A = this chain, B = another copy of it.
Amino acid sequence: MPIVVQKYGGSSLADAESIKRVARRIAETKKAGNDVVVAVSAMGDSTDELVDLAQDVSPVPAPRELDMLMTAGERISMALVAMAIHDLGISARSFTGSQAGVITDEAHGKAKIIDVTPGRITEALGKGHVVIVAGFQGVSQTTKEITTLGRGGTDTTAVALAAALGADVCEIYTDVDGVFTADPRIVPKARKIDRISAEEMLELAASGSKVLHLRSVEYARRYDIPIHVRSSFTPKEGTIVSDQPGPAGAEGTEGEAVEAPIIAGVAHDLSEAKITVVGVPDTTGKAAQIFHAVADAEINLDMIVQNVSATDTGLTDISFTLPKTDGQTAMEALTAIQEQVGFTGLQYDDQVGKLSLVGAGMRSNPGVSATFFRALADADVNIEMISTSEIRISVITRSELLEEAVRAVHTAFGLDSEDGEAVVYAGTGR
């Protein structure tokens, strides 16, 4: 029997009515002849409520206990979903992350899944039950402590279960219709993407697209699990994320997959800040000292730029971006080494935005960057930093220019739909 793994987020489980609606959807999937395993998030805003409760009790909650607390949210929703399925005449069993065999490392609050041992799930499926699993949580391998995977972790739970069970597809149900060529709140003409490669989705997620959690896409790519991102509010097809060839027919010729567009989409991110280390002596090892200090504070840097050294002073500036939430920690770590490294000063700038253009097609289309920078220049958007990968170009701009920049790039690459209708991309080079 085919195995389908589904994931429902908090917005799809906001109240009793939503839960019953989700239960009907699960029941339909079961009745269609599938074994069904479902990963659920906590109901609506209940995770935030638990965080607030913890804050009321303790300014800096003990991480182990915070994980104990947070996992209660998914426990509640999984039990309610299982009850609602029962009432539709289908037997269901809920399991915590620990019971489901989601084994993680020891990092409370941001644990990584290192193994899934789904013995109880397989046994329950064998008895004909639908299985509901608490997302976002697991149990640590060595200490047997309850852990959480961090925000968005239920996506990762679903994909990890799909991989461990050899599922045919992992359906991620959310409150939007799928992955779009840009955030529709900023670009009203953004189009839903029918199919996107895991590689491109990875770049989009890493660049600020919030539809799928980055780690879940990494996991899906590693284990070659197709993800179907779709709305729990409509029966419409959503976006298939997969490196496997698409279905034949439709717009292509018989037996031949539709060729992918050059550009998958435009992502933006306002969650980063920029730090500039000013007047760094341009001698061997100084940059290493700076990045070592930041790494020791467990901060992940994103983009890094080093200016050409001014010949008269022998000094250079080093700029990098990092999550705003790590800004203070980074500034403290750098201030502590200022004397030792001998740089002149530090600048902190949280009024920056990042725009990223993602598309596997840019590998073989040299004209992409020219079109990209022309669009930004025409929109009077000044560029402060640039970084590229094989299938992505990212730039840092002033934050107040970011939305306009996203719209300009989206239009320049022919991604705009007409009258809300999805249009087939017809760029150059196809």
Q: Which residues of A contact B (CB under 8 A)?
A: 15-16, 19-20, 50, 53-54, 56-59, 61-62, 64-66, 68-69, 71-73, 75-76, 78-80, 82-84, 86-87, 92-94
Does A80 lie within 8 Å of B76, measured CB to CB? no
Does B79 lie within 8 Å of A68, measured CB to CB? yes
| CB contact under 8 A between A75 and B68, given known A16-B53, A16-B57, A20-B57 | yes
Bound-state Cα–Cα, A164 to B53, Å:
33
Q: Nearest-CB distance from A144 to chain B (Å)? A: 8
Q: Nearest-CB distance from A68 to chain B (Å)? A: 4
Does A64 lie within 8 Å of B93, measured CB to CB? yes
Bound-state Cα–Cα, A131 to B54, Å:
18
Interface of A is mostly: helix
**Can you list 10 A-B contacts (CB < 8 A)?**
A50-B76, A53-B80, A57-B83, A58-B84, A61-B86, A65-B86, A68-B75, A68-B78, A71-B75, A72-B72
List residues of chain B with CB within 8 A of the CB of A66. Answer: 79, 83
Q: Nearest-CB distance from A23 to chain B (Å)? A: 8
Does B79 lie within 8 Å of A58, measured CB to CB? no
Q: Nearest-CB distance from A138 to chain B (Å)? A: 15
List residues of chain B with CB within 8 A of the CB of A92. Answer: 62, 65
Bound-state Cα–Cα, A58 to B79, Å:
11
Q: Nearest-CB distance from A235 to chain B (Å)? A: 23
List residues of chain B with CB within 8 A of the CB of A61. Answer: 83, 86
Bound-state Cα–Cα, A53 to B73, Å:
13
Does B72 lie within 8 Å of A76, measured CB to CB? yes
Bound-state Cα–Cα, A58 to B76, Å:
14
Chain B residue at smallest Cβ distance from A91: B62
Q: Which of B20, B71, B72, B76 has a CB less than 8 Å from the CB of A53?
A: B76
Chain B residue at smallest Cβ distance from A61: B83
Does A86 lie within 8 Å of B62, measured CB to CB? yes
Does A57 lie within 8 Å of B80, measured CB to CB? yes
Q: Which of B50, B69, B82 has a CB less than 8 Å from the CB of A68?
A: B82
Q: Which of B16, B69, B93 has a CB less than 8 Å from the CB of A76?
A: B69
Q: Which of B20, B50, B57, B72 has a CB less than 8 Å from the CB of A19?
A: B57
Q: Nearest-CB distance from A38 to chain B (Å)? A: 13
